[in-house]
Amino acid sequence: MLKALLFDLDGTLADTDPLHLLAWREVLAPYGLEVNEDFYRKRISGRLNPEIVKDLLGLEGEEARRLIEAKEARFRELALNLKPIPGLEELLEKARARGLTWGVVTNAPRENARHVLKALGLNPPLLVLAEEVGRGKPDPLPYRVALRHLGLTPREALAFEDSPSGVRSAVGAGIPTYALLTGHKEEALLEAGAWGVLQDFRKAMELL
């Protein structure tokens, strides 16, 4: 019996990927890296910031921290007028009416997560941050922590993601997972283990 909905944040609750792409493009340009949509999908999307800057630039420590802070500050400047993915508000209302709880499981830094949720007017009963649990997506740990907090089995939850990394994390925790087509292609999401793909949340109403 379904008891909870679990959502990724970026690209799932709101289409923030274009803003992240622009912020990364600006901070990486001085290093000679050109960030286009294909580069963003393959090298950045769904990963933790320290992994990204180490992989792309070989940076760690203080220099990596400064670059990440500059990128995230720029993202927050851009992310002021966010709109939820169509159908999200109706889905959450139907979930509440059915007595379901919900939560957000994200690789985003805490300040960004709170900024985006505030901009969307959302206050999830549960917020799991990968940076605070020790490992990020695609590792299943963030979703396992969410299940543990809620006292649920994997089949009592339903997850929504938008990246192959996120899908692998949720599916790896045993949770049935649907993927939104906000940033990645259907084939990549299904290959990662998604049960199906959605243009937005309007069709997700049928899953409850």
- The answer to whether 10 is a known catalytic residue is yes
Distance, in Å, from the CA atom of 130 to the CA atom of 110, rounded to the nearest integer, reads 9
- The answer to whether 162 is a known catalytic residue is no
**3-state secondary structure at position 105:** strand
Provide the total of helices (H) and of strands (E) in the chain, helices listed first: 10, 6
Among 8, 15, 17, 162, the one annotated catalytic: 8
**Is the distance from CB of 207 to CB of 188 less than 8 angstroms?**
no
Cα 167 to Cα 119, 170, 207, distances in angstroms: 25, 5, 17
Among 10, 17, 139, 162, the one annotated catalytic: 10
Distance, in Å, from the CA atom of 92 to the CA atom of 75, rounded to the nearest integer, reads 26
Point out the residues that are catalytic.
8, 10
